[in-house]
């Protein structure tokens, strides 16, 4: 069952063509890892998925209906697609609890007490029951990112998009965030994760998308990808291993 589909997407910024004929579809329960070099177009593709930016041409379908530049349509789509950012994007003057609750109030129209009750539940799911009244500046990067995940979860989205959720973190904090993402993937939540964590791509994702210069080169199983003899893939993996 298709949750989201991109059809023949093209996108340029000025003279730079960033996406070239990208077609891709996410089905319910999929855990997709997107990998590729810096500048390949991964973030741009993710942003087009929830229409944070519109494509130049091509179509986006959410549950088989076409997404258009209409306020009401976009509001619905965005309330059902969670986004977890590389740099957390928490609101500095709100506690962890209210960072999670505010979307429920603003987007879903819940009253604050009800929103906070649900937010507390979601913070428990990311192992942060003991940090609810802390402000972002009082939390570690790993904790802030888990608040970001709780915020996405609270909206009960049909799909969560993660853009390199651990790459801004100190290596010692990657594990706690990955543990949470792994748990979510096991619970059946549909997700697309742009990542440099090869262990995630290898062991947790059921699909692996490899991008190069604005195109999807591979959309396959992790097993097939890591066994591939394709020169481009071997180069990417070798460079990657050297960099680690």
Ligand X SMILES: Nc1ncnc2c1ncn2[C@@H]1O[C@H](COP(=O)(O)OP(=O)(O)OP(=O)(O)O)[C@@H](O)[C@H]1O
What backbone torsions phi and psi does residue 24 show, to the nearest 5 degrees?
-165, 140
- Shortest reach from residue 35's CB to ligand X, in Å: 9
Give the residue nearest to Mg ion (CB): 43
- Shortest reach from residue 15's CB to ligand X, in Å: 10
Rule CB under 6 A: choose which of 2, 16, 206, 224 binds ligand X. Answer: 16
Describe the crossing of helices 96-106 and 141-154 by its angle, rounded to 10 degrees.
20
The token pair that represents 215 in the structure block: 């195109």
Rule CB under 5 A: choose which of 6, 31, 36, 43 binds Mg ion. Answer: 43
- Contact between 85 and 163 under an 8 Å Cβ cutoff? The reply is yes
Residue tagged 């003057």 (tokens): 93
Rule CB under 6 A: choose which of 18, 77, 90, 104 binds ligand X. Answer: 18
Q: 43 vs 166, which CB is nearer to Mg ion?
A: 43
Q: 13 vs 112, which CB is nearer to ligand X?
A: 13
41's contact among ligand X, Mg ion, none, with CB below 5 to 8 A by partner kind, is: ligand X
The Cα angle at residue 126 between residues 200 and 206, in degrees rounded to 5? 25
Residue tagged 């904790």 (tokens): 143
- Shortest reach from residue 44's CB to ligand X, in Å: 3
What backbone torsions phi and psi does residue 241 show, to the nearest 5 degrees?
-65, -35
Quick note: the x/- pattern for ligand X over 26-65, rule CB under 6 A, is ----------x-xxxxxxx---------------------
- Contact between 86 and 165 under an 8 Å Cβ cutoff? The reply is yes
Give the pairing type, strands 2-13 and 16-27: antiparallel
Instruction: Give the residues lining the site for Mg ion (CB under 5 A).
Output: 42-43
Instruction: Give the residues lining the site for ligand X (CB under 6 A).
Output: 13, 16, 18, 36, 38-44
């Amino acid at each position: 069952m298709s949750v989201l589909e991109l059809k023949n997407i093209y996108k340029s910024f000025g003279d730079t063509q960033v996406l070239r004929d990208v077609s891709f579809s996410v089905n319910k329960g999929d855990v997709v890892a997107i990998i590729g070099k810096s500048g390949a177009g991964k973030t741009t593709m993710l942003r087009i998925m929830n229409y944070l930016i519109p494509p130049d041409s091509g179509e986006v379908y959410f549950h088989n209906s076409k997404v258009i530049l209409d306020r009401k349509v976009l509001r619905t789509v965005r309330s059902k697609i969670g986004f977890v950012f590389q740099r957390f994007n928490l609101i500095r003057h709100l506690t962890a609890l209210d960072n999670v609750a505010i979307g429920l109030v603003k987007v879903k129209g819940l009253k604050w007490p009800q929103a906070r009750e649900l937010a507390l539940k979601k913070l428990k799911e990311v192992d942060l029951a003991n940090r609810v009244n802390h402000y972002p500046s009082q939390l570690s990067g790993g904790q802030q990112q888990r608040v970001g995940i709780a915020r996405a979860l609270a909206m009960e989205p049909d799909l969560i998009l993660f853009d390199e959720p651990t790459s801004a973190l100190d290596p010692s904090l990657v594990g706690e965030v990955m543990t949470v993402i792994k748990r979510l993937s096991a619970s059946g939540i549909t997700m697309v994760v742009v990542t440099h964590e090869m262990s995630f791509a290898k062991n947790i994702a059921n699909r692996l998308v490899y991008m190069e210069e604005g195109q999807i080169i591979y959309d396959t199983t992790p097993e097939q990808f890591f066994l591939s003899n394709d020169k481009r893939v071997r180069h990417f993996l070798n460079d990657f291993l050297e960099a680690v």
